[in-house]
């Protein structure tokens, strides 16, 4: 028993040191990771807004996209049919829209809509994808396009703040979203988020079209565009200044379905990142439980193992625009939720997205 006890202490100590090093690297590497959002680079851009049904604040979302300070851009929405619930709002707000019909079986409705819009335009050098549930600041488009002045950058992206306008689970979603914001800070885990994503038109070639129509990745625009850039050796710029807002009012069922779907898509598109997540959250859980148990039953000095969780609470509170105290308290429990999402997603073979069901092929 003494040997086993010593080995367990040594292992938890090693995990603690490893997490401290990861934290230190993250703190030291923060500067210079976000892209310059104030470049004068403003080629003609096409902002594509795939719409299906109505979002919580659709009118304000569309208005925010139509009132950008960029100037040199075209805004077009894409719907499946003229009977879509979003069409009355599009007409009322004077937003041009295209009707793309039903997608191919292998593609998602959103990917199909994006390709349809790109195929019906020729003049714009930059393509921008915007989800219909985002509310963007006036400099959102300028900031998002600016990094593309550097031709070594293939994608410019950001990540939203999930503004809780509902109850408990909408606040949990806000804190859940901070992991995505954290992933954007590292080139290893960074990805193109399809809610706000800009790239040059020349990224669309035969290989991209094949991936977006006849590959397992065709159900996700995020994955298609991210993989296309990486396969060409192009970088991904993260523009924190362009962060939009997504107003959320989820109950538990809606949150759980959304979180598992996001995780399942991440596992399919970025398996290395998912395995890293499993290792990282396992370490966080081990440290937290060890810190509580060892400080209570062995020595108060082991409370030091809770420093990592404490730092996470401070970090998440600083990221929250509202409900900072809730974010700080909820933060230590998030690794358990992330791990549950990863385990649930590992068993998923299908996802439902805006009323359509898609198979997860690997």
CB 52 within 8 Å of CB 58: no
188 occurs within a structural domain: no
pLDDT tens readout for residues 11-68: 777 776 777 777 666 544 444 445 555 667 899 999 999 999 988 899 999 999 999 9
78 and 128 share one domain? yes
- List C-alpha distances in Å: 344 to 12, 123, 177, 178, 258: 26, 44, 18, 20, 12
Nearest to 345 by CA among 284, 283, 281, 290: 281
329 occurs within a structural domain: yes
64 and 24 share one domain? no
207 occurs within a structural domain: yes
Q: Reduce the DSSP state of residue 184 to 3 states and report it.
A: coil
285 and 151 share one domain? no
Residue 14, pLDDT score: 75
pLDDT higher at 53 or 122: 53
Residue 31, pLDDT score: 42
Please give the tally of structural domains in the chain.
2
Q: Reduce the DSSP state of residue 243 to 3 states and report it.
A: coil
199 and 77 share one domain? yes
What is the Rg, in whole angstroms, of the alpha carbon atoms belonging to the chain?
A: 22
* CATH (domain of 145): 3.90.550.10
CA atoms of 130 and 193, how far apart (whole Å)? 10
Residue 33, pLDDT score: 43
Sheet containing 134-135: order of strands: 134-135, 245-248, 161-164
Q: Reduce the DSSP state of residue 130 to 3 states and report it.
A: strand
What is the residue range of 330's domain? 2-31+271-359
Q: Reduce the DSSP state of residue 244 to 3 states and report it.
A: coil
pLDDT tens readout for residues 60-118: 999 999 999 998 999 999 999 999 999 999 999 999 999 987 766 667 888 889 998 99
Residue 279, pLDDT score: 86
202 and 278 share one domain? no
Q: Two tokens at 147?
A: 């990094």
Residue 257, pLDDT score: 94
163 occurs within a structural domain: no
pLDDT tens readout for residues 273-295: 888 888 888 888 988 888 888 88
219 occurs within a structural domain: yes
229 and 109 share one domain? yes
pLDDT tens readout for residues 244-274: 999 999 999 999 999 999 999 988 888 888 8
Confidence of residue 355 (pLDDT cuts 50, 70, 90): confident
Residue 23, pLDDT score: 67
55 and 153 share one domain? yes
Share of the chain above pLDDT 90, in %: 54
CB 199 within 8 Å of CB 156: yes
266 occurs within a structural domain: no
Average pLDDT over the chain reads 87
26 and 50 share one domain? no
- List C-alpha distances in Å: 17 to 102, 169, 282, 287: 53, 33, 15, 10
pLDDT tens readout for residues 157-198: 999 999 999 999 999 999 999 999 988 988 888 999 999 999
280 and 215 share one domain? no
């Amino acid at each position: 028993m003494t040997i086993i006890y010593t080995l367990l202490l040594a292992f938890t100590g090693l995990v603690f040191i490893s997490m401290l090093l990861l934290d230190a690297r993250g703190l030291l590497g923060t500067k210079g990771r976000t892209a310059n959002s104030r470049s004068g680079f403003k080629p003609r851009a096409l902002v594509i807004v795939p719409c299906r049904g109505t979002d919580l604040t659709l009118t304000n979302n569309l208005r925010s996209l139509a009132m950008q300070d960029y100037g040199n851009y075209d805004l077009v929405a894409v719907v499946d049919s003229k009977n879509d619930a979003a069409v009355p709002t599009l007409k009322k707000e004077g937003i041009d829209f295209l009707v793309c019909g039903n997608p191919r079986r292998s593609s998602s409705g959103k990917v199909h809509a994006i390709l349809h819009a790109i195929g019906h335009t020729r003049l714009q050098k930059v393509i921008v994808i915007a989800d219909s549930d985002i509310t963007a600041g006036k400099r959102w488009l300028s900031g998002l396009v600016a990094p593309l002045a550097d031709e070594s950058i293939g994608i410019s992206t950001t990540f939203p703040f999930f503004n809780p306008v509902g109850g408990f689970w909408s606040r949990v979603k806000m804190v859940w979203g901070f992991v995505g914001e954290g992933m954007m800070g590292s080139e290893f885990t960074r990805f193109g988020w399809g809610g706000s994503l800009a790239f040059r038109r020349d990224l669309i070639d035969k290989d991209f079209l094949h991936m977006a129509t006849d590959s397992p990745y065709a159900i996700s625009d995020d994955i298609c565009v991210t993989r296309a850039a990486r396969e060409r050796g192009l970088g991904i710029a993260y523009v924190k200044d362009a962060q939009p807002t997504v107003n959320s009012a989820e109950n538990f069922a809606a949150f759980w379905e959304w979180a598992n779907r996001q995780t399942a898509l991440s596992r399919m598109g970025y398996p290395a990142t998912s395995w890293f997540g499993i290792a990282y959250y396992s370490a966080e859980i081990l440290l937290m439980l060890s810190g509580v148990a060892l400080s209570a039953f062995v020595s108060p000095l082991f409370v030091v193992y809770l420093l990592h969780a404490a730092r996470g609470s401070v970090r998440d509170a600083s990221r929250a625009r509202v409900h900072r105290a809730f974010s700080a308290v909820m933060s230590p429990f998030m690794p358990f939720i992330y791990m549950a999402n990863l385990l649930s997603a590992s068993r998923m073979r299908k996802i439902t997205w805006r009323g359509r069901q898609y198979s997860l092929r690997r």
